[in-house]
């Protein structure tokens, strides 16, 4: 049933309420000076706002949750990237430097050993040649070269056989 509307945009509402509710509204009027219609309209507006808020909350909560998840994933990925960069700078680069320096040192030691071995071989050959003659020195050199090759081959074969077992 349509209600008459006044010129100020309000309608008249007839409702039955409990005696306790009416007494409460009268007490508030005496305390605050707010008329009955103001109090009731305030209650209705608060209920409307709460109801609309629940609806908005229900509709927007999944969207807000997705935004938070996306943001968290983005910041987690950024954090992992920063951590990788920090690890590379603070750990891996110094390790590479130490490894490179160790490799350089090892290479220089190998070169020195090879040079010293060549010098020793020539000195020993000269000493044996001077002491026992150049023929004996050449024969001893060839014999030593053949035996060292056989020993290296035997060690390699023995190692492969142990690994196979």
- Nearest-5° Cα angle at 53, 51 to 55: 75
**Global pTM?**
0.40
Segment 122-156, tens digit of pLDDT: 999 999 999 999 999 999 999 988 888 788 778 78
Segment 19-34, tens digit of pLDDT: 998 898 888 888 888 8
Contact (Cβ atoms closer than 8 angstroms) between residue 110 and residue 102? no
Segment 88-101, tens digit of pLDDT: 888 888 888 888 89
3-state SS of 32-70 is: HCCCHHHHHHHHHHHHHHHHHHHHHHHHHHHHHHHHHHH
């Amino acid at each position: 049933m349509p209600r008459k509307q006044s010129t100020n945009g309000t309608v008249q509402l007839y409702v039955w309420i409990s005696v306790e509710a009416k007494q409460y509204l009268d007490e508030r009027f005496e305390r605050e000076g707010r008329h009955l219609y103001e109090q009731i309209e305030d209650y209705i507006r608060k209920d409307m706002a709460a109801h609309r808020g629940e609806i908005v909350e229900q509709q927007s909560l999944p969207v807000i949750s997705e935004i938070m998840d996306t943001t968290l994933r983005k910041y987690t990925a950024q954090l992992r990237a920063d951590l990788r960069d920090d690890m590379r700078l603070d750990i891996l680069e110094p390790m590479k430097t130490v490894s490179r320096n160790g490799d350089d040192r090892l290479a220089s030691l190998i070169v020195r050993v090879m040079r010293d071995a060549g010098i020793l071989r020539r000195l020993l050959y000269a000493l044996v040649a001077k002491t026992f003659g150049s023929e004996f020195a050449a024969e001893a050199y060839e014999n030593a070269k053949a035996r060292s090759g056989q020993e290296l081959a035997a060690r390699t074969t023995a190692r492969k056989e142990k690994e196979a077992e």
